Amino acid sequence: MAKQPQPISPIKNFFAGGFGGVCLVFVGHPLDTIKVRLQTQPKPQAGQSPLYSGTFDCFRKTLVREIQAASGEIKYSGPVDCMKQLYREAGIRGVYKGTVLTLMRDVPASGMYFMTYEWLKNTLTPEGKSVSDLSVPQVLFAGGMAGIFNWAVAIPPDVLKSRFQTAPPGKYPNGFRDVLRDLIREEGVSSLYKGFTAVMIRAFPANAACFLGFEVAMKLLNWVLPGL
């Protein structure tokens, strides 16, 4: 007989989800930086080579640049200073720049994310067993594939968001429509998938770590605080 499932606890889910997010950032953040660099690199002039020839070239140049910048002038001393400068320059709209594009990315992508994860968990669970009995490799596989499907949906709006947020003030007065039109006119439809390699290299391990962290944290909380 299958074990009775634990009652849903919002508090446990909150803390377990937070721990899962920490795992995701810890594993995936370096390639997220590479992704944004690739998405926002300018179009090369005629006869010139692109700033980055690919994911690994971007990684190498970013590492060299950051080492050099350590002894030079830095625009933002940290996230709080960045927020202060954005607010000073453009008010609350500056802090929330790109919100619509973020929603266009995250609403469908998050739906795909959790749908894929839950579907794979149920598919991998033998009849008569509970999803809580899944092995670590099975959880890693379900979480990693959820990340792949999430980013397959999210890449185009993510490229538009990165371009819009890093553009000079006033460059795109009509928002994402201007970004989309200019990007396709100048670089073609394939430009909507800039950073694809970096995204996919990051997607599986980062999201596998996220869901494994979540599941492990939930089991630990259920063991330590069974009545919560």
Q: Which tens digit of pLDDT belongs to each residue from 188-210?
A: 999 899 889 999 999 999 999 99
Q: Please give the average per-residue pLDDT across 140-160, as a whole number.
A: 95
Q: Please state, as a whole number, how many other Cβ atoms lie within 10 Å of the Cβ of residue 109.
A: 18
Q: Please state, as a whole number, how many other Cβ atoms lie within 10 Å of the Cβ of residue 78.
A: 9
Token pair 């500056």 in the structure block, residue? 94
pLDDT greater than 90 at residue 79: no
Q: Which tens digit of pLDDT belongs to each residue from 24-67?
A: 999 998 888 888 888 888 888 777 888 888 888 888 888 777 66
Which of the two residues, 66 and 81, has the higher pLDDT score?
81
Q: Which two tokens stand for residue 76?
A: 């933002």
pLDDT greater than 70 at residue 5: no
The pLDDT score that the predictor gives to residue 143 is 95
CATH 1.50.40.10 applies to domain 98-227: yes
The pLDDT score that the predictor gives to residue 1 is 45
Q: Which tens digit of pLDDT belongs to each residue from 156-187?
A: 999 999 999 888 888 888 888 999 999 999 88
Token pair 């928002």 in the structure block, residue? 175
The pLDDT score that the predictor gives to residue 72 is 57
Give the confidence band of 3 by pLDDT, cuts at 50, 70, 90. Answer: low
pLDDT greater than 50 at residue 131: yes
Percent with pLDDT over 70 in the chain: 93
Which range has the worst mean pLDDT, 2-6, 91-95, 140-144?
2-6
CB 199 within 8 A of CB 151: yes
> Nearest CA to 58 among 152, 188, 176, 199?
199
Query: SS3 for 110-145, per residue?
Result: HHHHHHHHHHHHHHHCCCCCCHHHCCHHHHHHHHHH
The domain limits of the chain are 11-37+52-97, 98-227
The pLDDT score that the predictor gives to residue 76 is 76
Q: Please give the average per-residue pLDDT across 115-138, as a whole number.
A: 91
CB 203 within 8 A of CB 150: yes
